[in-house]
Chain A
Amino acid sequence: MSFTPTPKQFKWLKATLFVLALIPAGRLLVYAFTDQLGANPIEFITRATGDWTLYFLCITLAVTPLRRLTKWNWLVKLRRMSGLFAFFYVSLHFTTFFWFDHFFDIGEMLKDVYKRPFITVGFSAFVLLIPLAVTSTNGMIKRLGGKRWQWLHRLVYLVAMLGILHFWWMRAGKHNFEKPIIFGTIVGVLLLARVYWYLKQKRAARVPERGSGRQVTSASS
């Protein structure tokens, strides 16, 4: 069941998804002005933005498997937006930490990053996302060359794993692993799907008479 939206439909779809992706941020804004962030507003914002970073990382990682399963190749054109929203929410997450926990004191902030492993991990994930956000434009893809760009953007696998570890560690002292396990399973499945396709493609390449040409050449990302 191949479905491809017309350019006009696609534009509308993209605009709708853009607005939807802003709802979590808008909700925080509305809550902040209507005193609905609860007794500890900063904690509320930190948690919400952290959660949404992970949601968007999962969505981004789901694009390729979904595309393969549905053959909806146009999905890949939505991946950049999703990735950039992950970056948007992690930036809010980091800013909350840097601003309200450390009041822009870089020294204090870095001390915290160094001293506390769960922050070290979260901070690394944030830093590693920066080059991906910076090189997300068409111009940068051209400048880097597709192959090199693709290699660089595989960093997102590492970022997702670090993100889960950060979340898991944050919850570890309280033995409250329900949500980290759910996120971890989703990311695990999405990454294992890639390993599976990669191995399948390798075997197909070894036995060319059995494999189909299309599978061999289809790029994994």
Chain B
Amino acid sequence: QKLAAKSNPAFVVMDKQTPYKDATTYNNYYEFGTDKSDPAQTAGTLKPRPWSVVIEGEVKKPMTLDLDNLMKLTSLEERVYRHRCVEGWSMVIPWIGYSLSNLIKKVEPTGNAKYVEFVTLADSKQMPGLRSSVLQWPYTEGLRMDEAMHPLALLAFGMYGEVLPNQNGAPVRMVVPWKYGFKSAKSIVKIRFLKEQPKTSWNLSAPNEYGFYSNVNPNVDHPRWSQATERRIGEDGFFTRKRPTLMFNGYNDVASLYAGMDLKRFF
């Protein structure tokens, strides 16, 4: 299903785009199974419509928006982002959406709002992977308020000129391109504004391996593998060396958010 959007050249990286087939058949979406080929095969049971997103917590205007109203909040734009998975591979994907800050401004956070939590769908009727206790369900993720307000933080509804395929987080997901992929919550049902740092699923599961920040950082290795290089899916063949991973995935704009922070400690 087509989704119209104007390209925003300010947010387009020039890297070669990942083939649609690779981006939609090689997914980490544990609610649909732990193999990367699982989501494409089993996510057909997800019903992305009707859908609504609850916005609550430290805001002056809590609200529940149905998908159409959420999409009409402001004009949709196409942005091409690099996407770096914590596992050491990367893609380049044309997303469709708008900066999350548009929504945040609309609901008017109070002075107490220091963090944003994203709660995703956990419905065992639609998601066969919930039977396994690999992670704590529902999958939750979070950002610090200034991270969430950064123009790069995208609330996405589509990719490759179409609405999001189920396996890529339909109907609405976050895309936070300077962080490892798992920070970008899929199939969001609730956005909460909080005083305290929210608990996040991967951090709960393995706190020494997945930190709250999880910024892409070639200098901080995962305990079980190096993060210095990455393999670009669909582009790097057998005989290409892995390419170097860029600090903040190449999005140096965000560096000021972490001024003075020890990124080895706050990994």
| Residues A175 and B231 in contact, CB atoms below 8 Å apart | no
| Residues A175 and B135 in contact, CB atoms below 8 Å apart | yes
Q: Which residues of B contact A38 (CB under 8 A)?
A: 25-26, 36-37
Q: Which residues of A contact B36 (CB under 8 A)?
A: 38-40
Q: Counting CB contacts under 8 A, is B134 at the interface?
A: yes
Measured in the bound complex, the distance between the Cα atoms of B157 and A78 in whole Å is 58
| Residues A39 and B26 in contact, CB atoms below 8 Å apart | yes
| Residues B25 and A173 in contact, CB atoms below 8 Å apart | no
Closest partner residue, chain A, to B135 (CB atom): A175
| Residues B34 and A176 in contact, CB atoms below 8 Å apart | yes
Q: Counting CB contacts under 8 A, is A42 at the interface?
A: yes
Q: Which residues of A contact B205 (CB under 8 A)?
A: 175
| Residues A116 and B238 in contact, CB atoms below 8 Å apart | no
Q: Counting CB contacts under 8 A, is A8 at the interface?
A: no
Q: Counting CB contacts under 8 A, is A85 at the interface?
A: no
Measured in the bound complex, the distance between the Cα atoms of B231 and A178 in whole Å is 27
Contact with B along A173-192 (1 / 0, CB 8 A): 11110100000000000000
**A/B interface sample: 7 pairs, CB < 8 A:** A38-B37, A39-B25, A40-B36, A116-B224, A169-B224, A175-B135, A175-B206
| Residues A39 and B233 in contact, CB atoms below 8 Å apart | yes
Q: How far is the CB of A127 from chain B (nearest CB, A)?
A: 20
User: Contacts A173-B209, A174-B34; is A40 near B233 (CB within 8 Å)?
Assistant: yes
Between A41, A43, A170, the greatest number of chain B beta carbons within 10 A of the residue's beta carbon is seen for: A43
Measured in the bound complex, the distance between the Cα atoms of B111 and A21 in whole Å is 66
| Residues A42 and B238 in contact, CB atoms below 8 Å apart | yes
Q: Which residues of A contact B34 (CB under 8 A)?
A: 174, 176
Measured in the bound complex, the distance between the Cα atoms of B238 and A204 in whole Å is 58
Measured in the bound complex, the distance between the Cα atoms of B227 and A116 in whole Å is 13
- Interface of chain A residues 131 through 170 with chain B (CB within 8 A): 169-170
Q: How far is the CB of B174 from chain A (nearest CB, A)?
A: 21
Closest partner residue, chain B, to A39 (CB atom): B26
Q: Counting CB contacts under 8 A, is B258 at the interface?
A: no
Q: Counting CB contacts under 8 A, is A74 at the interface?
A: no
Tell me the number of A-to-B contacts counted with CB atoms below 8 Å: 49
Q: SS class of chain A's interface: helix, strand, loop or mixed?
A: helix
| Residues A175 and B134 in contact, CB atoms below 8 Å apart | yes
Measured in the bound complex, the distance between the Cα atoms of B34 and A43 in whole Å is 15
Number of interface residues of A (CB under 8 A): 22
Q: Which residues of B contact A178 (CB under 8 A)?
A: 132
| Residues A39 and B22 in contact, CB atoms below 8 Å apart | yes
Interface of B with A (CB < 8 Å)?
21-22, 25-26, 34, 36-37, 89, 132-135, 205-206, 209-210, 221-226, 231, 233-234, 238, 241-242
Measured in the bound complex, the distance between the Cα atoms of B231 and A174 in whole Å is 20
Q: Which residues of A contact B233 (CB under 8 A)?
A: 39-40
Interface of A with B (CB < 8 Å)?
38-43, 100-101, 103, 112, 115-118, 169-170, 172-176, 178
| Residues B231 and A173 in contact, CB atoms below 8 Å apart | no
Q: Which residues of A contact B37 (CB under 8 A)?
A: 38
Q: How far is the CB of B238 from chain A (nearest CB, A)?
A: 6
| Residues A176 and B134 in contact, CB atoms below 8 Å apart | yes
Q: Which residues of B contact A173 (CB under 8 A)?
A: 206, 209-210, 222-224
| Residues A39 and B234 in contact, CB atoms below 8 Å apart | yes
User: Contacts A38-B25, A103-B241, A175-B135; is A112 near B226 (CB within 8 Å)?
Assistant: yes
Q: How far is the CB of A98 from chain B (nearest CB, A)?
A: 13
Q: How far is the CB of A107 from chain B (nearest CB, A)?
A: 14
Between A38, A170, A174, the greatest number of chain B beta carbons within 10 A of the residue's beta carbon is seen for: A174
Measured in the bound complex, the distance between the Cα atoms of B225 and A101 in whole Å is 11
Q: Which residues of B contact A117 (CB under 8 A)?
A: 224
User: Contacts A174-B134, A175-B135; is A40 near B209 (CB within 8 Å)?
Assistant: no
Closest partner residue, chain A, to B206 (CB atom): A173
Q: How far is the CB of A202 from chain B (nearest CB, A)?
A: 42
Closest partner residue, chain A, to B18 (CB atom): A39
Measured in the bound complex, the distance between the Cα atoms of B234 and A40 in whole Å is 7
Q: Which residues of B contact A118 (CB under 8 A)?
A: 224
Q: Which residues of A contact B223 (CB under 8 A)?
A: 116, 173
Measured in the bound complex, the distance between the Cα atoms of B94 and A15 in whole Å is 52
Closest partner residue, chain A, to B91 (CB atom): A39
Measured in the bound complex, the distance between the Cα atoms of B206 and A173 in whole Å is 6
Q: How far is the CB of A180 from chain B (nearest CB, A)?
A: 12
| Residues A42 and B231 in contact, CB atoms below 8 Å apart | yes
Between B221, B238, B241, the greatest number of chain A beta carbons within 10 A of the residue's beta carbon is seen for: B238
| Residues B225 and A40 in contact, CB atoms below 8 Å apart | no
